[in-house]
């Protein structure tokens, strides 16, 4: 079991909230926490609209935490999204990951999230490619005659193919998104709030993420459905990491341990993320000493 921390600064009243996150995350790293998750937001004056920037700064203050950006697709350019997480991954030497907010939270169709996930994963893994989707098209001039999803150039020499950097002023039909991540395939997560995304993620081998505002019984129900759908699709449980975010305040350590162990048994929970809310948050040191060791095994 991994345990991390998350911050949603959407309603943060001042920008000092971001420097507070840097300090708290560095402290958490010293106590042995595994990950830091920052959610994109734009409501409060201190909201974090670009989690990858904050996490990149954090990557130079600590060398151990896994760094996860929780992003929306509504304002993200998929190319830039792939680039940002790849850059974070290089700066952190393979500690970056990307979680996608549920389509419903953004008022976007689930297909836009699915295509963006597919595009980003292709951009990290493939060299030159193009992409034709309903919501994502790369490069822009990719025509309707291109195959749906990602497609790749012909083998060199078979069709007069020339790589992009030898083309001069011509516009290439296939491009390589660079840099590539340090780790060939950074982990990708998606909130499974809608059924279409739950089924798609289970079949595509995308790890499920359940946010702190989803009630515990709903989380268990949805993760159970995800597990069944993934089994039906023939996916190995070892391919994905089940992540649940929770607000933990003053629960007694035994009750907390029991809750997490039950959830692990029912859902395959592998990564518990403690959402930080400010006053009343569980003490990081006490949790690390009293609870975290009991979650192992």
Partner 1 sequence: MEFWTGGAGLARMRAMPASLANGYDSFVADAVKAEELGFAAYGAPEHHFTYDGFIPFPLQALAAAAAVTTTIRLVTGAMLLPMYDPLDAAEAAATLDVISGGRVRLGLGMGYRPMEFDGIGTAKRTRGARLVEAIEVLRRATAEDTFDFEGEHYRYEGASLRPVPVQRPIDIWFCGGTSARAARRAGEAGLPYWLANSPFEVTESIVHEYRRAGREAGWPEERLRVAAFKDVFIGNTMPEAESLRDVMLDVFYEEHILGYGYLVDDSGRHVYNPPRDHPMYTRFVDSLFCGTAEMVVEELKRYEALGVEAVFLPSPQRGLIADEIMPEFT
77 binds partner 1 (CB under 8 A): yes
The residue among 19 and 218 lying less far from partner 1, judged by its C-beta, is 19
72 binds partner 1 (CB under 8 A): no
30 binds partner 1 (CB under 8 A): no
| Residues in contact with partner 1, shown as a per-residue x/- string from 170 to 189 under the rule CB under 8 A | xxx--xxxxxx-x-------
216 binds partner 1 (CB under 8 A): no
User: Which pair of structure tokens corresponds to residue 28?
Assistant: 């958490």
The residue among 82 and 202 lying less far from partner 1, judged by its C-beta, is 82
Specify the DSSP class assigned to residue 288. I
41 binds partner 1 (CB under 8 A): yes
Least separation in angstroms between residue 251's CB and partner 1 is 32
Among 165, 255, 265, 278, binds partner 1 (CB under 8 A): 165
> DSSP for 84-113?
HHHHHHHHTTS-EEEEE--HHHHT--HHHH
| Residues in contact with partner 1, shown as a per-residue x/- string from 79 to 108 under the rule CB under 8 A | xx--xx--xx-xx-x---------------
Alpha carbon distances (Å) from 201 to 4, 79, 117, 145, 148: 22, 21, 10, 27, 18
Query: Using CA atoms, how far apart are residues 290 and 293, in angstroms rounded to an integer?
Result: 7
Candidate ranges 7-15, 99-107, 188-196, 231-239; the one touching partner 1 (CB under 8 A): 7-15
Specify the DSSP class assigned to residue 33. -
Query: Using CA atoms, how far apart are residues 82 and 181, in angstroms rounded to an integer?
Result: 9
Least separation in angstroms between residue 133's CB and partner 1 is 13
Question: Tokens 């060199």 belong to which residue?
Answer: 156
Rounded to 10 degrees, the C-alpha dihedral 29/33/39/45 comes to -50
**Is residue 9 within 8 Å of 276, Cβ to Cβ?**
no
Candidate ranges 37-45, 145-153, 241-249, 277-285; the one touching partner 1 (CB under 8 A): 37-45
The dihedrals phi and psi of 86, each to the nearest 5 degrees, come to -65, -45
Return the SS3 of 18. Answer: helix
Among 22, 146, 212, 294, binds partner 1 (CB under 8 A): 22
Which stretches of the chain bind partner 1, using CB under 8 A?
9, 12, 15, 18-19, 22, 41-50, 52-54, 56-61, 75, 77, 79-80, 83-84, 87-88, 90-91, 93, 137-141, 163-172, 175-180, 182
């Amino acid at each position: 079991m991994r345990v991390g921390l998350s911050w949603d600064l959407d309603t943060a009243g001042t920008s000092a909230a971001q420097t507070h996150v840097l300090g708290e995350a560095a402290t958490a790293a010293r106590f042995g926490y595994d990950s830091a998750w920052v959610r994109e937001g734009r409501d409060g004056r201190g909201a974090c609209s670009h989690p990858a920037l904050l996490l990149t700064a954090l990557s130079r203050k600590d060398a151990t935490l896994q760094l996860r950006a929780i992003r929306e697709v509504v304002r993200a350019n998929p190319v830039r999204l792939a680039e940002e997480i790849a850059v974070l991954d290089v700066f952190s030497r393979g500690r970056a990951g990307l979680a996608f907010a549920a389509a419903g939270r953004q008022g976007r169709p689930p297909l836009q999230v699915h295509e963006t996930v597919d595009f980003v994963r292709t951009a990290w893994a493939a060299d030159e490619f193009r992409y034709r989707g309903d919501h994502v098209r790369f490069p822009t001039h990719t025509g309707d005659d291109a195959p749906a999803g990602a497609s790749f150039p012909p083998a060199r020499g078979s069709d007069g193919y020339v790589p992009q950097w030898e083309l001069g002023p011509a516009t290439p039909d296939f491009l390589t998104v660079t840099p590539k991540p340090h780790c060939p395939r950074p982990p990708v997560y998606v909130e499974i709030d809608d059924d279409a995304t739950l089924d798609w993620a289970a079949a595509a081998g995308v790890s499920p993420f359940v946010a702190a505002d989803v009630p515990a019984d709903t989380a268990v129900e949805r993760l159970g459905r995800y597990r069944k759908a993934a089994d039906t699709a023939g996916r190995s449980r070892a391919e994905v990491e089940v992540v649940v975010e929770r607000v933990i305040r003053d629960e007694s350590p035994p009750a907390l341990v029991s809750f997490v162990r039950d959830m692990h048994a029912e859902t395959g929970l592998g990564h518990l993320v403690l959402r930080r809310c400010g006053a009343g948050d569980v003490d990081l040191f006490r949790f690390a000493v009293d609870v975290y060791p009991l979650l192992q095994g």
